[in-house]
Amino acid sequence: MSGIIDLGSDEYFMGQALREARKAYAATEVPIGCVIVREGKIISRAWNQVETLRDATAHAEMLALTAAQNAIGDWRLEKCTLYVTKEPCPMCAGAIVHCRPERVVFGCGDPKAGAAGGWINLLNSCPPLNHRCEVVSGVMGEECLGLVQGFFREARERKKAGEEKPRPPGFPTDM
Amino acid sequence: MSGIIDLGSDEYFMGQALREARKAYAATEVPIGCVIVREGKIISRAWNQVETLRDATAHAEMLALTAAQNAIGDWRLEKCTLYVTKEPCPMCAGAIVHCRPERVVFGCGDPKAGAAGGWINLLNSCPPLNHRCEVVSGVMGEECLGLVQGFFREARERKKAGEEKPRPPGFPTDM
């Protein structure tokens, strides 16, 4: 069955999130991408635009959540799965819980500051919050991590060459 | 000195955040308001617009943070204080840390799900996060709490009368 792509698989949709992450890379943004899927269809796509929008809250997940809500005209993302290439930070995890998707699938983990089990878990083990998501981790994790690592390796090289610009907050400075 | 208003005090700016909260109340939104102040000047104002924008991430703090970043053309809210009538939730607290204001002043606490010390504290006691804010709580706390309590009292009365519409997530259903 090699060579056949399952268009409904987690790997397929994570591949689409990686496409978004590569757009971020091309724009010299930390390469993180996100897609939101409802009943097998992508309803929103976004890449990290912190530098582009000069807005430290413009993480891929936040932009994709707002776009998905616009797409369906409701803040309840029922029957939805959010795919993101890196484990969400506390801001994004908090936003995800508010929007209530059923599942969250991420690529590489963030043991230092991730909020989907890496550092803390806001997605499915917090009694005070009013929604719990099923969480799947490690889907295409190596590709997702490799992209971020490559970005920071290049950034270090630029820094050595005296071309570094300050990095936005909310992202790992090294992975 | 009664009757004299100190235009640089925390109480004055919290009064301005309460003005925003009352706009939310008038729009049948959970009445939470926020202002961001830099060097004694208000650079952004916002009220909770979850229902209005059909966006569960459109909390007062999120809208005020984005507007403040637009106002100064930078994602670093240096020398800024954020005033909000209710203790921030995990999403908003995570966003605040990304934007790096020096101080956060809130009115009433949220012991069930607040992320500035009520339930957890993301603002100044999380080693993995790359910024810590000074936090001041309880400024005009009774007025802030009273507004929210009045809103939910009215909502219960509407519900009894069969006029209730579903409440957005991310807010206390009762205080």
Half-sphere exposure at residue B134, Cβ-oriented, CA atoms within 13 angstroms? 7
Radius of gyration of chain B (CA): 16
Say if residues A44 and A61 touch (Cβ distance below 8 Å): no
Active site residue A61: yes
Beta strands in B49-109 (DSSP E): 80-86, 103-108
Average pLDDT over residues A133-156: 96
Can you give the length of chain A in residues?
175
Distance CA A121, CA A72 (A): 27
Distance CA B70, CA A141 (A): 34
Q: Which of B20-24, B51-55, B84-88, B168-172 bottoms out in mean pLDDT, i.e. has the lowest?
A: B168-172
Do A169 and B50 lie within an 8 Å CB cutoff? no
CA of A154 vs chain B CAs: smallest distance (Å) = 22
ipTM for the predicted complex comes to 0.89
% of chain B exceeding 90 in pLDDT: 78
Do A55 and B75 lie within an 8 Å CB cutoff? yes
Say if residues A38 and A77 touch (Cβ distance below 8 Å): yes
Set of chain A residues whose Cβ sits within 8 Å of the Cβ of B112: 128
pLDDT of residue A175: 56
Which residues are CB-neighbours of A49 under 8 A, at least 6 positions away? A24, A27, A29, A55, A58, A60, A63
Task: List, as one string, the DSSP characters of B61-130.
Answer: HHHHHHHHHHHHTSS--TTEEEEEEEPPPHHHHHHHHHH--SEEEEEE--TTT-TBTTS-B-SSS-TTSS
CA of B16 vs chain A CAs: smallest distance (Å) = 24
The answer to whether B130 faces chain A, any CB pair under 8 Å, is yes
Distance CA B35, CA B81 (A): 8
Strands B41-47 and B33-38: antiparallel
Q: Which residues on adjacent β-strands are paired with residue A81? A: A37, A103
Over 80: is that where the pLDDT of B169 sits? no
A154, A23, A94, A4: which is closest to B116 by C-alpha? A94
Give the pTM.
0.90
Say if residues A37 and A162 touch (Cβ distance below 8 Å): no
Strands B134-136 and B103-108: parallel
**pLDDT tens readout for residues A159-169:** 888 875 655 55
Do B129 and A97 lie within an 8 Å CB cutoff? no
**pLDDT tens readout for residues B106-120:** 999 999 999 999 999
| Tokens linked to A68 | 């998905």
| Tokens linked to A147 | 């992209």
